[in-house]
Structure 1
C-alpha cells in the first residue's frame, strides 16, 4: 500500500510538472488588490482597476498600464465630455476602482462628483491636467472666457502635454503597484518614443503649410494649446461658451473674421455635428472639414489591451487631424504616412517595429 501511495504521489507530481511546462505564461504578472473576491466557497484576488474618463486619456494610460492593470474609460467616445452625465452603472464601476485618473481643469465635473461619492475610501483621484499645467499657462479663449473662470481644458491635443500625461500615469501606477515599476517604465519609454515621432511629424506638417494659412477656426475650441506650441493662430470658435448653437450675431462676427483673415478652410467637429458649420463655410466660400479632439478614428477600444485597430489610438487621432489640416490648408498630408499609430502594448504592439 505504501508503494502504491508513493507511486501515485510521484505520478501526480509528474503530471503537474508536465502541465506547467506546457502552459508557461510569459506575460507580466497581473497586479491584484489586497481585497479578496469571494465566489461561492472559493476566494480569489481581483485585478487592479484604473478608471479614466475621455478616450484619449484612456488610451494613453492603458499604453502604460499594459497587461498588469485593467483600464476602463467612463465617458463614451463621441460624447460631449463637458456635459456628459454619468449613468448609474458608472457608479458601480467607480465603486470598484483602485485608482481614478481624470483630466481635471473642470472638464468632467459631473463625473468627478460621482467619483467622489462612489469610490472606495482609499482610492485616489488624480487630475492630471491640473498636475501638468500651472495657472499662469492657462488659456482662456472663445469657448472658455476668463470671466467664467474655467480655462480651456484640452491639454492632450498638445503633444508635449500628452507626454506629461503618460509620465503621470506611470507615476501613479507605480504608487498603486510598486512591483510593476520596471514594466510601467519600459512601456513609458516606448510610448514617449512614439510621441516624440508624433511631435517631429507635426512640425514637418506645419512647416509644409503656407504661413498665411496657419490659422484655425474650429467648431469646438480645443486647439488652443496645440496652436500655441506649433505656431498656429486660433481666430475663433463656432460653438459659444454655453455649448449651444451660435446666434445670428455670432455667425456674422465669424464670417467677418474669415473674410478678414483669408483662411481657406474652417473645421467642424466629429463630436459636435452642426449644420451651422456647413452654413458658415458656404456663405464664406471656404472649405469645411471635421477634426476630432476626443473621438479615436475607426472602430476599436480606447483600452490598448482590447484594441486590434492600429489607427484607433491617441496617436492615430492626431495623425488623422494632421492629415486633415494639411489637406485643407495647403500643406503636405503625405508626411503623416510615416507615423506608426499603433499602441506599444496589446494586440497592435506587433506593428511597432
Structure 2
C-alpha cells in the first residue's frame, strides 16, 4: 500500500508541477512559431527571403516568369493567404486581384504591407507609355531602382520586427548585410551606365519596366511598345516607333521572355538595330545566381553590351543569397 501511495503522491506532485509550467511551455511554443509570410512576384519574394530567413516561412504566390500584371490567384492561393501572418505586396496597383482576394480571406489581424505605397508619395508615381495617367494606374516597377529597393528592405525589416520582436536582432542583421550587397550593386549600375557612350544611353523596351531605373542611373526611356491593355501595338504606333529609333540612332531595342513579341523583331529589322529579348523585370535567373541581385546583374550585362558599354563592369557582383 505504501508503494501505491508513494506512486500516487509522485504523480500528483508531477501533475501539479506540470500545471505550473504549462503557461511557460505554451508561451515558448508560441514564441518559437515562425511567421507565415506571403509575397507575390519573384524579385519581391527573394528580397523578403533575404531579410526574413531563417525566422519566417515565406511563400511567393506568383510563379517565376508569370506576367504579374494579369496574374489571377487560384483557390490554392486563397488558402495560403488565409493562413498568412503578414502579406507583402509591391503595391501601386500591380497585384489588385491578389490584394482584393487577400482582403476577403485573410485573418482580421493580418496586415497587408504595400511596399511601393510606403516608399513613394503619389506625387512621385510615374505615368508613361504603358501606364498613361488618364487610366489611373501608375507604373509599379520600383524594384529596378536599387535606392528604392533599399527602402523596401528597411520597411520589410521594421514590419517583421514589429510582428516578431524576439527575432529583431536577426532581422536587423540580415537587413544590414543585404543592404551592403545592394549598395555595391547600385554603385556597379552607375559604373556600367558610365561605360556606355553618352549618345547610346537610351532604352526602347517592349514592356515599360524602367521608368524608375532610368532617371536614377542617367538613362532615357525613348519608348515602350506594349499598350496599357497588354496587347500588341498597332501599325501606326509601329511606324512611329521605327521613325523614332532611326531619329535617335538607338543601337538596340529590348524585349522580354515574359512578354514574347514578333513585333519587336520586325521593328528591329526595319530600323536596322539589334534586338535583344533577354531583359527581365520579374523572372530570376537559374542557379547559382537565382536572386534579385542576379537578375539585375544579368540585365546590366545584357544592356551594357548591347548599348556599346563594357559588360565586365558587373563581373564581381555577388549575386548569392544570404539564406
TM superposition score normalised by structure 1: 0.82
Q: Secondary structure at the match of 1:63?
A: helix
1:286 and 1:65 map into 2 onto residues whose CA distance is 44
Q: CA RMSD in A?
A: 1.6
In the alignment, which of 86, 90, 94 is matched to residue 103 of structure 1? 90
Q: Secondary structure at the match of 1:129?
A: helix
1:135 and 1:187 map into 2 onto residues whose CA distance is 30
Q: CA deviation at 1:32?
A: 9.0
Q: Which residue of 2 aligns with 1:301?
A: none
8 Å CA contact 1:159–1:199 kept in 2: the answer is yes
1:186 and 1:294 map into 2 onto residues whose CA distance is 26
Q: Secondary structure at the match of 2:315?
A: helix
Q: CA deviation at 1:47?
A: 2.9
Q: CA deviation at 1:253?
A: 1.2
Q: CA deviation at 1:33?
A: 8.3
Give yes or no for the alignment of 1:131 onto 2:89.
no
1:286 and 1:268 map into 2 onto residues whose CA distance is 13
Q: Which residue of 1 aligns with 2:305?
A: 327
Report Cα offsets for 1:292-336 as digits up to 9, x if no partner. 0000011xxxxxxxxxx3310000000000000111000000111
Q: Secondary structure at the match of 1:269?
A: coil
Report how many aligned residue pairs link the two structures: 297
Give yes or no for the alignment of 1:153 onto 2:134.
no
TM superposition score normalised by structure 2: 0.89
| Change over 3 Å in CA distance of 1:69–1:32 after alignment to 2 | farther
In the alignment, which of 178, 181, 187 is matched to residue 200 of structure 1? 187
| Higher normalized helix content (fraction of residues) | 2
Give yes or no for the alignment of 1:215 onto 2:193.
no
8 Å CA contact 1:95–1:120 kept in 2: the answer is yes
Q: CA deviation at 1:179?
A: 0.6
Report Cα offsets for 1:39-82 as digits up to 9, x if no partner. xxxxxx75321000001110001100011101110111111111
Report Cα offsets for 1:8-59 as digits up to 9, x if no partner. xxxxxxxxxxxxxxxxxxxxxxx99849xxxxxxxxx753210000011100
1:333 and 1:287 map into 2 onto residues whose CA distance is 16
Report Cα offsets for 1:245-291 as digits up to 9, x if no partner. 11111111111110110000000012111111111111111001120
Give yes or no for the alignment of 1:295 onto 2:283.
yes
What stretches of structure 2 of length at least 5 have no aligned partner?
Answer: 4-26
8 Å CA contact 1:310–1:343 kept in 2: the answer is no
| Change over 3 Å in CA distance of 1:283–1:182 after alignment to 2 | same
8 Å CA contact 1:49–1:70 kept in 2: the answer is yes
Q: Secondary structure at the match of 2:172?
A: helix
2:28 and 2:118 map into 1 onto residues whose CA distance is 27
